[in-house]
Structure 1
Amino acid sequence: MALPSETLLGADSQCKRLLLPAVLLASMAAAELLLFPEDLNRLPGSSIRWRISGGPSGYVNYTWYRANASIEANMLVSYISSPPSWIPGPANAGWENVTQKGYLTITELEFGDAGNYSIVVTGIEGSQEDTGQIQVWGKPDSYSVSPARDNHGIQEVGAISCL
């Protein structure tokens, strides 16, 4: 952002008196809340720690939801920073938790844990929300590889089947 010219910032200019409050307000604005990474891909039985960055700071509340954050029944867990307390929500299955930094932890992922997750961070500056997705993939028990032939008997393509 470029500063106004010296003519506008002269001693008698009202612009000079407005510039400092505007700069202070801009620097106090919260950074955008982001999940890191936005999407997670894991195997059943693995654990995750979903990090966040940005968002309101200071005394904040972190609340994680499975699916839609506007529905209270989807709340997994909430952390309130002052006084420090953790509140499990109606959708909490017992293996979801939130750290003091707002990170979501899930131990022993199951296929049913796949889906969209939302976090809402609320502080004195307001609240911000972000959404990401967890995919839980299974390993096939076995697989087979078979060659495919064209009309000339030359192997060009193969087929892989999960059993």
Structure 2
Amino acid sequence: MDLSRCRCRLWRELVLLASLLARGILQASGQIYISPDSLTGLKGFRTILILENATEDAREYSWHRGTNGTADNFIVSYKPPSHSWQTGPMYSGRENVTKMGDLTIRRSELNDTGNYTMRVDTGNGTQTATGWLEVQDVEGKPDIWANASSLVEDMDSVAAICYTNATNVKWYVDYVQVSSNDRMTISPDLKTLVIHRVSRYDRTLHCAIESIPEILQRSEIISLTVNYGPDSVWLSTSPDIFKGVLSAKIGSQVMMECSATSKPSPRYQWIHNGSLLSFSEASVTLPSLTLEQTGRYRCVVGNPVTQLTMYREFQIQQQPQHIPVVNKGFYISGAKVVWLIVFTVLGGVYVCGILIYALVSHFSTRCLLPRVEGGVLAGDWVSRALPQEGKAKPGGEGTS
């Protein structure tokens, strides 16, 4: 067990308890005092010694360096009635008194550490308060180094080192705090950052330390140049291309333009029927198309840094002088629609009449023709089968 650590902790707790008790006693008695929370300053930052329990009828607030308020250690004072300030021999040009009686020290230095005494003149008497100011030194801003600043997207990596003795180092990429992930690795001591496969959005790098809570000290910013592309190539022409073919009349103007996203700006080349043309711009205009200028064209876009190349192809062909106009749709005028409906109805009625006539004729013929059964007409068989009236039945009997 570390007894020294326990004693140190106990001592701090006792000091804090004594400070709280003293503050409570001063508040209860109405005595002015310097807020203990304001008695800690940082080198290079503004320090404010806050006066508590100050009376509203104060005639003068005066601050002194040391444990007593003498003229020799007088710093600065403020008189509310006349709104005037006065400086003394201990004034360094960085001190001032607010209208509430607080002492402000701009760009605090280590030698500002020490006792400060406040005197308040109320007209009926003078109140004094003394406090010990501790100005602490903060670690300077860290240095940063990177092994490269010009990179190729998705191909190169960059490693950066933060030079500092602090242990709580934070890393920022494009001003956003980052941590280890699939694309970035931060060393266990937090002082090295490696970005694998840099992206075009990795524009800046810097590190920061937090030696004092909520106060960040940032390193210099390293700018990264990430080269990328060309991305997809876009082609625009006049007249427009349809299914890879640009039809234009001989003698007409033809405009062609390529575009692509790239860093640095891409280089353009135009190839006509396999031959490299002298054009090196993204846009090319043929003022008067000739027969020799027809054929296959290719726009080549290349990035000299990433060594990536993309292209688009199309065909320029001669448009016939007389092109028959073909309607893309089928249109019928109103009068034609009426005649078409009439002919359709009449044709349907005619066909239905023919079918009805044929059916009627068929069934009528079947009903009129006698049936032949066993070589004898059906009607004749009936007449034979029925006994004729007035004739004797077989066996010699007559009809009744």
Q: TM-score scaled to structure 1, two decimals? A: 0.63
Query: Within 2, Cα distance between the matches of 1:31 and 1:70?
Result: 20
Of structures 1 and 2, the one scoring higher in RCO (CA 8 A, sep 6+) is 1
Provide, for residues 63-92 of structure 1, a one-character-per-residue CA deviation record: whole Å limited to 9, x for no partner.
001113232111110101121100011100
Aligned letter for 2:98? T
Aligned CA distance change for structure 1 residues 130 and 144 (closer, same or farther; 3 Å): closer
Aligned letter for 1:36? S
Which residue pairs with 2:71 in the alignment? 72
Query: Within 1, Cα distance between the matches of 2:131 and 2:103?
Result: 12
Aligned CA distance change for structure 1 residues 107 and 72 (closer, same or farther; 3 Å): same
Aligned CA distance change for structure 1 residues 144 and 35 (closer, same or farther; 3 Å): closer
Structure 1 range deviating more: 120-129 or 56-65: 56-65
Conserved in 2, the CA contact under 8 Å of 1:38 and 1:132?
no
**Do residues 43 (structure 1) and 46 (structure 2) align?**
no
Higher helix share: 2
Conserved in 2, the CA contact under 8 Å of 1:64 and 1:77?
yes
Aligned letter for 1:121? V
State how 1:88-107 maps to structure 2 within 5 Å.
88-107=87-106
Which residue pairs with 1:31 in the alignment? 30
Which residue pairs with 2:357 in the alignment? none
RMSD over aligned Cα atoms: 2.2
Aligned CA distance change for structure 1 residues 139 and 55 (closer, same or farther; 3 Å): closer
Query: Within 2, Cα distance between the matches of 1:37 and 1:83?
Result: 30
Which residue pairs with 1:20 in the alignment? none
State how 1:3-152 maps to structure 2 within 5 Å.
31-37=30-36, 40-139=39-138, 143=165
Conserved in 1, the CA contact under 8 Å of 2:95 and 2:106?
yes
Query: Within 2, Cα distance between the matches of 1:103 and 1:39?
Result: 10
Provide, for residues 115-134 of structure 1, a one-character-per-residue CA deviation record: whole Å limited to 9, x for no partner.
01010001123111001111
Conserved in 2, the CA contact under 8 Å of 1:39 and 1:133?
no
List gaps (5 residues or longer) in structure 2: 1-28, 141-163, 168-400
Provide, for residues 27-68 of structure 1, a one-character-per-residue CA deviation record: whole Å limited to 9, x for no partner.
xxx821021126622221010122112144314200001113
Conserved in 1, the CA contact under 8 Å of 2:63 and 2:103?
yes
Aligned CA distance change for structure 1 residues 130 and 38 (closer, same or farther; 3 Å): farther
**Matched pairs, number:** 116
Secondary structure of the corresponding residue to residue 72 of structure 1: coil
Conserved in 1, the CA contact under 8 Å of 2:69 and 2:118?
no
List gaps (5 residues or longer) in structure 1: 1-29, 146-163
Conserved in 2, the CA contact under 8 Å of 1:55 and 1:128?
no
Query: Within 1, Cα distance between the matches of 2:108 and 2:98?
Result: 18
Aligned letter for 1:136? V
Query: Within 1, Cα distance between the matches of 2:131 and 2:77?
Result: 17
Name the larger-Rg structure.
2
Aligned CA distance change for structure 1 residues 32 and 112 (closer, same or farther; 3 Å): same
Aligned letter for 2:121? T
Q: TM-score scaled to structure 2, two decimals? A: 0.27
Conserved in 2, the CA contact under 8 Å of 1:43 and 1:136?
yes
Query: Within 2, Cα distance between the matches of 1:144 and 1:43?
Result: 17
Aligned CA distance change for structure 1 residues 144 and 122 (closer, same or farther; 3 Å): closer
Higher strand share: 1
